[in-house]
Amino acid sequence: MNRAYIKNLSESVGETTTIAGWVDVRRDHGKLIFIDVRDETGKVQAVFNPKVAEDTHASAQELRSEWVVMLRGEVKKRPESMVNADEPNGALEFVAHKLTILNEATTPAFDITTDGTEVGEENRLAYRYLDLRRARMQKNIRMRHALTHEIRSYLSERGFVEVETPILTKSTPEGARDYVVPSRLERGNFYALPQSPQQYKQLLIGSGFEKYFQIARCFRDEDTRGDRQPEFTQLDLEMAFVEREDVIALNEALLIHLVETLYPEKRIQEKPFPKITYKEAMEKYGTDRPDIRKDPNDPNLLAFSWVTDFPFFEKTDSGDWTFTHNPFSRPLPEHEDNLLAKKNIGDIITSQYDVVLNGSEIGGGSIRNHRPEALRRVFEIMGYADERINENFGHMLAALGSGTPPHGGIAWGLDRLVTILQNESSIREVIAFPKTGEGRDLMMHAPSDITPEQLKELGLEVRKKGE
């Protein structure tokens, strides 16, 4: 199909060409029929005149919203009095000579010419393939693509290597509940979906890849909590032979680059980003995700900050110690002796650093324990017996003991970052096929039952609630 993209029609004025797309709006003015045709690049008004092509005009009377069509015709300038200055192609019209209906469409479940805010979210998610056709959603997904493309280019140019890590992995305690996958070949054993690539990226550093990154899918089986998804996307990166300031400097430069390149209309409040200790943030703002905007009503104001010097451990409800962020973090150098001696545990400060934007944490990382004895102490402080440490993390201890260099990294919540940059209220607005807050896919009807035959193959028996 030798077709022209609608955004390029201004280059073909006076020429005959072919376009294809969806019927956006149809208007019947008696002798003349007007339809707005859209493709992924834009919209144009097509005119059907019986004096130009009588059969084509007759066929156009059947057209309805969302029908897929191909048109052959001439690109013309509109009369001056009919120019629509608010539309990119508002000075053009497409005079149709031939119409081919490629596919008819049932009546849409809702109007997709609006921004969708008047439509119930469950309805939008159930018909997401329609919802994604609206201009706002197209822009969100395309800007997300532009951002990830720019990240890949920026990091690749600086020597980073993108490496995919496994989705089927081992269940280990990392702070949230795992999604588990039964093994058919090893009945009674299970894989886990990764909460993050944390262990794999540290293993890659130990393997000699000094600069790693990945646009990574992560999975956490958490209770319903507002603006979260059971699966989400991170920018994950790790660097060898670095200190905290090295990682902070790289990520700050990348964030500034993304804003200035893709969102020139936005203004970063302060560069370099201010650094606030955890203690200062809690005392001044009452949160470790402070919103430091001088004008919170300015949608194009971006107030980045770094929060540092977090406590390494905190008490659980049962009185045991647990990590505040990540068990693989390294303490600040002046606190390493206390970790190794397991003394003054509540006073140990970790090398953790969070990057905050307009009151939302968009990323977090740390310098890691690269010596096995230090990582072992973390799990001992948490009350893990040697057998459990070796069972869950023996591979990590062995890898660190094989000659792993000092290293550190960070993970960004990519969905959250794009949400803020696009001035959206929910991460579901920047994810192509999101789930509800309860983790349900209303379009695919998941989660769902599997057949008795599948259960038998896996050696599983399902008990319904109440049984």
Tens digit of each residue's pLDDT (9 = 90 or more) over 427-449: 999 999 999 988 999 999 999 99
324 domain-assigned? yes
Domain check: are 390 and 249 in the same one? yes
pLDDT digits (tens, 9 = 90+) for 101-143: 999 999 999 999 999 999 999 999 999 999 999 999 999 999 9
1, 70 Cβ separation under 8 angstroms: yes
Structural domain includes residue 134 = yes
252 vs 144: CA distance, rounded Å: 19
Average pLDDT over residues 200-226: 93
Same domain, 87 and 230: no
Q: What is the CATH number of the domain that holds 202?
A: 3.30.930.10
136 shares a domain with 27: no
Percent pLDDT > 90 in the chain is 91
Evaluate whether residue 18 is within a structural domain: yes
Give residue 369's pLDDT: 96
CA distances from 300 to 264, 293, 326, 427 (A): 10, 11, 33, 18
Count of CA atoms in the C-beta half-sphere (13 A) of 292: 22
In this predicted structure, what is the pLDDT of residue 347? 96
What angle, rounded to 10 degrees, do the helices at 198-206 and 386-400 form? 40
**Shared-domain flag, residues 99 and 133:** no
Same domain, 207 and 89: no
Statement to judge: residues 79 and 196 lie in one domain: no
Give the integer Cα–Cα distance in Å for 252 and 466: 52
Same domain assignment for residues 146 and 95: no
User: Which pair of structure tokens corresponds to residue 349?
Assistant: 């400060």
pLDDT over 70 (residue 226): no
**Tokens representing residue 424 in the block:** 């959206």
pLDDT single digits (tens) 446-459: 999 999 999 999 99
The whole-model pTM stands at: 0.94
Count of the separate structural domains present in the chain:
2
Q: Are 457 and 184 in contact (CB under 8 A)?
A: yes
Structure tokens at 22: 């969806």
pLDDT of residue 400: 97
The pLDDT score that the predictor gives to residue 302 is 98
**pLDDT classification of 174: cutoffs 50, 70, 90:** low
| Domain residue limits at 94 | 6-103
Is residue 136 located within the same domain as residue 219?
yes
* 182 CB burial (10 A radius; 0-12, 13-18, 19+): middle
Mind listing the pLDDT tens digit for each residue in 193-206? 999 999 999 999 99
49-59 b/e (C-beta count within 10 Å ≥ 16 → b)? beeebeebbeb
In sequence order, the β-bridge partners of residue 130 are none
Distance (Å, whole) CA 130 – CA 108: 8
Of 103, 97, 76, nearest to 22 by C-alpha is: 103
